Structure 1
Amino acid sequence: MAQLIQDLTILLLVSLPITVLFHRFKLPTVVGFLVTGMLIGPHGLGLIGDLESVEHLAEIGVILLLFIIGLEFSLSQMLKQLGRIVGTGGLQLGLTAVVCFFLFSAMSFPVNQSVALGLLIALSSTAILLNMLNERVELDTLHGRIAVGVLLFQDVCVVPFMLVVPLLAKIETISGWSFLWAFLKAVGAVGGVFFLSRLLVPRALGRIVQVGKREHLTLFVIFIILGTGWVSHQIGLTLAMGAFIAGLILSETEYNHQIILDILPLKEYFVSVFFTSVGMLMQVEVFLEQPGFLLMLAAVVIAVKAVMAFVAALLAGTAPRIAFIVGIRLAQVGEFSLILAAVALETGVFDSRLYQQFLIVSILSMIVAPFLIQVSSSLSLRLFKGGLAADSGTQSKATQVSDHVIVVGYDTVGQNLSKVLREVQIPFTVVDLDGQQIKRALVEQCHGFYGDATQRSTLLRAGIRQAKMLVVSIQELKALEQVVRLARQLNPNLYILVKTRLASEVESLTQAGADLVIPAEFETSIEIFSRVLREFGMPHNVIEQQVELMRLEGYRMLRGLSLNMDSLANFSTYLTASLSRSFLVLEGSWANGKTLRQIELKTKTGATLIAVVRNQEAQPNPIADFTIEVRDVLILFGSHAQLDQAHRLLQDGPSTKSESRARVN
């Protein structure tokens, strides 16, 4: 035990400065962990020289890591996307395994090793990809959802793989009964997960939460991990696979969020332990014996995985550019592959040299993976400039109208905006790369079509040259920039509004040509503090000033409060609703020192002054010669539009534009 604690201390002591350095230079931390392992392991500086300790660390790391990965997955979400998951995932797994089998057979590997290598290489890294998608806020993008779906399918397939690999050691004597028994055990494991997650565990957790304390919940979670691991070991699976199954079981309970909150602070520690221990297992001398061959083999493996995933996504109906991104994201060898390789070594399918060669190729693919993920979006935009051409012989309705709105992305923002535009009878068309979203748009009687808005032909089909406004609501930053840049080239007079995720992305989108960029994270915080101030009765113009200051401090694009999405759903009602609002007169207010007769509030804005509060005393219906003073609170009545004009008049003074609007109202 003392040796294990010493090894963990050394691991953390060395990995911390290296990962800080990697983070400072914006390099993936996973690569930092792998490099740390190579340095401190028995084949590096020898700070951790006991190979058995290294293997124990690797096993502990992967058990804890896979439990969290299983906990973050959702069986119900997987069932909702079953068609996409099985379609793309099955094609990717099958194509990659078959191509790798023939590749290694051509290199004179025995049949059992070729089969094992094909199965192992077909799996991708859930830990690396999910970490990268989380860091880049891309889990909700189309390519993110497809990639996660493929990972889900792969992780489910690990169960039968875990049972099949040991059978390959005696492939000459294997009978059909052996494969049938392995298949039945795999089905039993999956069925057990479903039974426990749906029936037994939720009820037990409910009882524990009702009668126990928080510590009891933690103890029950530990029991589930250990119990599932033991059962998994009894039926021929590994403890790591049992931990993943335990995570899946708990992910379907209503208490999974609390469990995640309790475990999440340790997630990075688990990641560091696992990937550092993987780096320690690599024998550098084996790599130095054949560096050229192993580098070439790693490049071939990465290329085969990327191409096969690309082809699988294409065959499943994904757009070429998105399929390319998915292919690049899945091009590395996964952590489950390393576990299966250890099983293959123990059962005699792999010898020690082949195991080391596979380990080196896997680590090289893991090191390269984060860099490939970082450039995949930009590279896809350069390679797929032709994109999805409009159907020949058909003319989109959008090109037959002018002054319409093009909505790119039919997410929550796109859906609510489309409802508003349809209600007020403003012509619009929807463009989305997700076929399911386009089907939904058509069901909701929105005109739209399937296409990649980063392509010139798609925007032309949408009528970009005749459009008055473009609203873009997609998650991928590089694609956002490309859409804005291309739209600005095709229509210099177009008004372009972009919804993005982060305030840090505003500048690049503005430079690309956007007129207005609304970062979701910043607008959410503004809306929250505006609501808080409003609940405390703060005058509207004071809130507006604070909002303006916040926006000027955070980003320079926005000049007024945005409506929330619930209000937009009833847009016409919102505009005509009457209500009261207060206005605090400041020293710089135009109305300060003027009489009501001079202000002509009703004539110029349509709003009515119903009272003035001065020195905490209300003066209802003040006369026309009443003089406004600093710190007076004016109580106004009217519609939203009238009150907004009244606030502008009282603060900034009259303008031709505001007077003409008042006459219209």
Structure 2
Amino acid sequence: MSIDLVLMLSAAAAGGLLAHAVRLPPMVGFLLAGFALAGLGVEGTPALEALADLGVVLLLFAIGLKFDIRVLVRREVLGVSLAHALMSIVLVLTLLTVAGAVGVGLLADVGGADLVLVALALSFSSTVVAVKVLEEQNATRSLPGRTTIGILVVQDLVAVAVLAVVEGEGPRWWAPLLLVLVPASWPVRRMLARLDHGELLTLVGVALALVPGYALFDAAGLKGDLGALAIGVLLAPSPRAEEVAKSVFSVKELLLVAFFLSVGLHGAPDVSGIALAVALVALVPVKAALFALLLGACGFRVRTASRAAVSLASFSEFALIVVVAAAAAGAVDPEWLVVVSTAVALSFVVASVTSAVVDPVSSAASRRVPDPRGLHPEERPVDLRRADALVLGMGRLGRAASSRLIEGYGLRVTGVDSDAARAGDLTAEGLHVVEGDATDPLFWARVRDEGTVRLVLLAMPFHGSNLAALEELQRSGFGGSVTAVTRYDEEVAQLVERAAVVGLYDAAGAELADRAVRTADPGVS
């Protein structure tokens, strides 16, 4: 192993520990470690770049495994993406033009086409930072999380076109043949369903992200990262999709350390370059405010719009790719790479710090700012005042448990599921099911309950989701009976530690419902 790589990873660990000690997100420490190493004359290595690229590939693959492609056509995704891109380009162009007029460094003699290219590059948001922020908030499946990821996907699609124009190369003639991956994904899903838990599932997930994902799309003249995302989307219907995403999580987290290090290692600009980078970073709050206003116009509450806006505020790592390609083609001065990389890195720091305070600040603001007149369907109040029991997760198990509670015990049951299509189908069948993410504090802020709910079933397939929902229940002051489904012994211990859990059962839905009723308060038994 290269000594330089060992030094870099050691510096990253030290930076992460320092950031943790002062209660900052670890990624801030990784970025600062990169800057410190660059200041000492250390340069990035091919091994570090390869690790960084692999981390981004796995990140996008994991996103795809949880992504519903239908989100892309929604007004809050497609409309907001395009409107915000135009506004951002105008803002950055205005700033750069004014700076050029007063003779700031690189802008003194720069052409209009160069400015447009840089402004376009900076209009994109960082996929890595946005998803990291959402994962830290356990919000990837919430309304702001799904909207954020949808906007990032639209930006990625636009990025493919921009890169093709800058490099002067379009997709290969055979790129349409990639559509064969759609039917090819069907047997792969069946194969995943037959795999055991453990390292083989992780290895297969990584291989799928790299080979039919990154490598094949890259060979076709498309972004390899986009290919990893596409493979994840194709495998999302698999019942093992969440488990695959969970299995690659630790690998992806470790590799992303290399990504943040590599951003910092691009080096520092001169004084005028630093001034320009800081001026660009000053646009980050404006960028976030524009997202918040546009999402508010789509019916988002202040808290929801703010969470999505902050996660989208930072500049994109893709800006570096565009500037590198433009510099290689002679379209912009190579010094722009250092300026843009500094602005991107600083925007990461700003976004990371801001994400830690967005919830309390937006909560305070929401008490003063009225809700939009036409609330988004997923922002409307959730009425539980006529429910005796609540089932969180309406998959096969949750549905069977709900039917048992209704038919066997005469309880009024409300189901909650984050899958809009499933919620709609079950509602059409006569069940009372609302769409929502039970792990998200924003969902519980919408709940209207007068104490009628005395029994809750946690029937989501992902253990982490059940734990997060249980914590939200406890924060809300719920004092009834909570029964959770579990598959592994180690999960039982974690659930038993939560005082609200009085019944655990790993069985069919009807038996789970029977167990829940037997352990519930007398008022519902």
The normalised TM-score by structure 1 is: 0.58
8 Å contact 1:37–1:277 — kept in the other structure?
Answer: yes
Amino acid at match of 2:53: I
Amino acid at match of 1:158: A
Q: Which of 326, 330, 339 is the aligned partner of 2:308?
A: 326
In 1, the alpha carbon distance for the partners of 2:320 and 2:258 equals 15
Matches within 5 A, 1:294-373: 294-300=277-283, 302-316=284-298, 318-373=300-355
Tell whether 2:78 aligns with 1:94.
Answer: no
Q: Which of 29, 40, 45 is the aligned partner of 1:45?
A: 40
SS class of match (2:331): coil
Compute the displacement of 1:366 (Å).
0.8
Alpha-carbon deviations, 1:621-653, whole Å to 9, x = none? Answer: xxxxxxxxxxxxxxxxxxx96xx89xxxxxxxx
8 Å contact 2:289–2:309 — kept in the other structure?
Answer: yes
Q: Which residue of 2 aligns with 1:28?
A: 25
The verdict on how the C-alpha distance between 1:164 and 1:189 changes in structure 2, with shifts beyond 3 A counting, is: farther
8 Å contact 1:15–1:33 — kept in the other structure?
Answer: yes
Q: Which residue of 2 aligns with 1:515?
A: 479
Residue range with higher mean Cα deviation, 258-267 or 31-40:
258-267
Tell whether 2:94 aligns with 1:106.
Answer: yes
Q: Which of 372, 379, 387 is the aligned partner of 2:371?
A: 387
The verdict on how the C-alpha distance between 1:76 and 1:279 changes in structure 2, with shifts beyond 3 A counting, is: closer
Matches within 5 A, 1:498-647: 501=465, 510=474, 513-516=477-480, 518=482, 523-525=484-486, 554-559=497-502, 566-567=509-510, 574=514
8 Å contact 1:408–1:474 — kept in the other structure?
Answer: no
In 2, the alpha carbon distance for the partners of 1:434 and 1:403 equals 23
Q: Which residue of 1 aligns with 2:260?
A: 275
Tell whether 2:181 aligns with 1:193.
Answer: no
SS class of match (2:282): helix
Residue range with higher mean Cα deviation, 87-96 or 367-376:
87-96
In 1, the alpha carbon distance for the partners of 2:472 and 2:233 equals 38
Tell whether 2:119 aligns with 1:134.
Answer: no
Alpha-carbon deviations, 1:383-407, whole Å to 9, x = none? Answer: 223436799xxxx9x99xx973388
Instruction: Flag structure 1 segments of 5+ consecutive residues without an equivalent.
Output: 168-181, 451-471, 532-546, 576-639, 646-656
In 2, the alpha carbon distance for the partners of 1:111 and 1:353 equals 17
SS class of match (1:555): coil
Alpha-carbon deviations, 1:451-509, whole Å to 9, x = none? Answer: xxxxxxxxxxxxxxxxxxxxx972124764x568x96xxx6x76677769576897886
In 1, the alpha carbon distance for the partners of 2:475 and 2:243 equals 42
8 Å contact 1:298–1:364 — kept in the other structure?
Answer: yes
Compute the displacement of 1:303 (Å).
2.6
Residue range with higher mean Cα deviation, 24-33 or 68-77:
68-77
Alpha-carbon deviations, 1:22-71, whole Å to 9, x = none? Answer: 34554322212111100111xx122x1x5xxx274564244322332343
The verdict on how the C-alpha distance between 1:269 and 1:473 changes in structure 2, with shifts beyond 3 A counting, is: closer
Tell whether 2:56 aligns with 1:66.
Answer: yes
The verdict on how the C-alpha distance between 1:142 and 1:296 changes in structure 2, with shifts beyond 3 A counting, is: same
Amino acid at match of 1:69: L
Compute the displacement of 1:201 (Å).
11
8 Å contact 2:385–2:452 — kept in the other structure?
Answer: no
Matches within 5 A, 1:400-479: 404-405=386-387, 411-412=393-394, 423=407, 439=424, 442-445=427-430, 474-477=438-441
Compute the displacement of 1:102 (Å).
2.0
In 2, the alpha carbon distance for the partners of 1:226 and 1:483 equals 40
Q: Which residue of 2 aligns with 1:18?
A: 15
8 Å contact 1:74–1:248 — kept in the other structure?
Answer: yes
Amino acid at match of 1:567: A
In 2, the alpha carbon distance for the partners of 1:96 and 1:106 equals 15
8 Å contact 1:70–1:247 — kept in the other structure?
Answer: yes
Percent identity, aligned pairs only, is 20
In 2, the alpha carbon distance for the partners of 1:243 and 1:431 equals 33
Amino acid at match of 1:32: G
The verdict on how the C-alpha distance between 1:59 and 1:199 changes in structure 2, with shifts beyond 3 A counting, is: same
Compute the displacement of 1:162 (Å).
0.9
8 Å contact 1:33–1:276 — kept in the other structure?
Answer: yes
Q: Which structure has the bigger radius of gyration?
A: 1
The verdict on how the C-alpha distance between 1:25 and 1:314 changes in structure 2, with shifts beyond 3 A counting, is: same
Matches within 5 A, 1:200-239: 228=216, 231-232=219-220, 235=221
In 1, the alpha carbon distance for the partners of 2:419 and 2:302 equals 12
Q: Which residue of 2 aligns with 1:377?
A: 359
Compute the displacement of 1:72 (Å).
2.4
Alpha-carbon deviations, 1:182-212, whole Å to 9, x = none? Answer: 6xx3596863433346449979x98xx9xxx
Amino acid at match of 1:228: L
Q: CA RMSD in A?
A: 5.2
Amino acid at match of 1:16: A
Matches within 5 A, 1:109-120: 110-120=111-121
Amino acid at match of 1:128: V
In 1, the alpha carbon distance for the partners of 2:242 and 2:91 equals 44
8 Å contact 1:125–1:330 — kept in the other structure?
Answer: yes
Instruction: Flag structure 2 segments of 5+ consecutive residues without an equivalent.
Output: 101-110, 195-199, 459-463
In 2, the alpha carbon distance for the partners of 1:365 and 1:428 equals 46
SS class of match (2:164): helix
Which is bigger in relative contact order (C-alpha 8 A, separation at least 6)?
2
Alpha-carbon deviations, 1:74-118, whole Å to 9, x = none? Answer: 38954343433xx43332332232113322433427432343234
In 2, the alpha carbon distance for the partners of 1:106 and 1:189 equals 41
Compute the displacement of 1:567 (Å).
1.7
In 2, the alpha carbon distance for the partners of 1:504 and 1:433 equals 14
Q: How many residues are matched?
A: 482
8 Å contact 2:57–2:209 — kept in the other structure?
Answer: no
Alpha-carbon deviations, 1:543-588, whole Å to 9, x = none? Answer: xxxx9xx69972333445579771279x6xx59xxxxxxxxxxxxx
In 2, the alpha carbon distance for the partners of 1:551 and 1:74 equals 29
SS class of match (1:412): coil
